[in-house]
Amino acid sequence: MVFRTTDGKTLDVPANQVKRVFEPGHFTAEYGYLTYPAGPSALMTLALLVAGLGDERPEIQLALKFLGNDPKRWPKGRRLSRTYCTALRAAVWSYLATHTRDPARRERYRRLLRLDAQWLAEAIHESGWYTYSGQTKPDKWRPKPGTRSRAGDHSNTQVGVWGMWAAANAYTELPRWYWPLVERHWLKNQFRNGGWCYSGTEATGSQPRATMTTAGLNCLYIVLDKLYAVRKQGAYVRFAGIKPNPKVQAEIARLFEAIDRGLQWMEKHDRGSGSGYYLYGLERLGVASGLKYIGGDWYRRGANYVVPRYRRLAGGARRPGPYDAMVLMFLCYGRAPVLFNKLAYGPQEKWNYYFRDLHYLCRYITWMSERIYKWQIVGLDAPMHDWRDAPILYIAGREPFKLTDEQLAKLRTYCDYGGTIVAHADLRSNAFADSFKQAMVKLYEDRGYEFRTLSADHPIYRTHFGQDDTPWRVHIPIQGMSDGVRDFVLLFPVGI
């Protein structure tokens, strides 16, 4: 296993040393059992799954048996009574349910996931807090919602929300009130300077923390995913897109305003940390937001910090623990290849109408290819090496496409380096499609390049889909500009 930092340093772990992690005394399915049943075990199992181990491996089977198949091992019954334990175990079931191709195993994992999601839904306080215990009577299953009197903390609250997000990703039906409650909680508890604290309020003198501010931002991105992108925005109409709803657009703008204030706090106050807890939260934020820079290049800084310090772990000098699992997931997701750059030009409403488009597309491609892919946002003033992080530059809009000659020249430079531009006319906007084509034709008028409609047998329609056994139900029109070797500019003139 090789981990590479962005400044060229590498950590090469020989196969025999990787094997040591799974030998007795290193990996234990019951790690941390006496303190928090299943929490560390679930976290370490999830990290190994993310790193590429399948559920057929004996080490993973041992952990899964401990997590879900052996009720005699649990004190006072099978149910868990800890927010961390239940949420992290839910993340394991979700990962397995969405990555297995076997229908029987998928249904079994989803059944176990539904139980954990039910616990998490009933454990949240009516104010939106989670605590460690999750309920007033740990020995009782099915506590009444809203009966807890103790104040919660944002560490447990973010993990509880994460568990429910994992359940939703595996198509588990959740109560309709859940995501609005999460939204209200995190907006209400954000400090005026944009940060979030561990517990308490701004009025009681609590201070924001970087770890809890990443927690708040992650939860707001989850709300965007599960409440707005999925439920509130309305239905998609083929080729026309999703009709704007002014009320919903205002709510989305309010969320992004809170997110922007949180990111500004991070820019001013984040001094970096090598803890696995913080790095994993930062990685989740980077992947969810599409931002390469959060108080600096978050992956470069984190990788340069942890890789030299984890040589002792790679050499078997000590046993791995829960924070090591978080570091492993930070490295796995952080080093994942960037497949798309989304161009930010002008106000956000101009280029980011579908604010989770590439997020869901990369999630789908990750699932189809069984390899992690991610996306990021780049601005017109970003250096070319940031643009070249991804082979595809995605440009979306619904207003006339206008850039300066210097900015258009940068698009040409990107294509000359081998990049491909994919443009999308949001809401089937003729104003965007026509102006984009005019701009690109003018940019390449010295070479005489023009747009043409791609034929139905073009490789773009048949490389992955469109074969005889997977025919297209409806043909999607695409226009392309070719240099004689490849179509390096593609335009979707309709909403897809």
70 closest CA partner among 98, 33, 102, 43:
33
Local confidence band at 200 (pLDDT 50, 70, 90 cut-offs)? confident
Tokens 């588990």 identify what position?
172
Residue 139 or residue 359, greater confidence: 359
Helix 276-289 crosses helix 210-223 at what angle (to 10 degrees)?
A: 30
477 closest CA partner among 409, 428, 415:
428
Local confidence band at 17 (pLDDT 50, 70, 90 cut-offs)? very low
Distance CA 112, CA 172 (A): 11
Q: What angle do CA 106, 181, 97 make, to 5 degrees?
A: 5
Strands 374-379 and 420-425: unpaired
pLDDT at 203 over 90: no
* 428, two tokens: 């089937």
pLDDT of residue 311: 66
pLDDT in tens, 263-302: 999 998 866 567 889 999 999 999 999 999 998 899 998 9
Q: State the number of CA atoms in the 13 A half-sphere of 389 facing the CB.
A: 25
pLDDT in tens, 266-276: 998 866 567 88
pLDDT of residue 338: 97
* Tally of CB atoms within 10 A around 389: 17
- Over range 384-408, report the average pLDDT: 96
pLDDT in tens, 88-104: 999 999 999 999 989 99
pLDDT of residue 36: 57
* 455, two tokens: 């034929």
pTM of the model: 0.88
- Which residues have a Cβ under 8 Å from the Cβ of 250 and sit 6 or more positions away? none
Q: What Å distances lie between residue 217 and 7, 200, 210, 284, CA to CA?
A: 28, 18, 11, 10
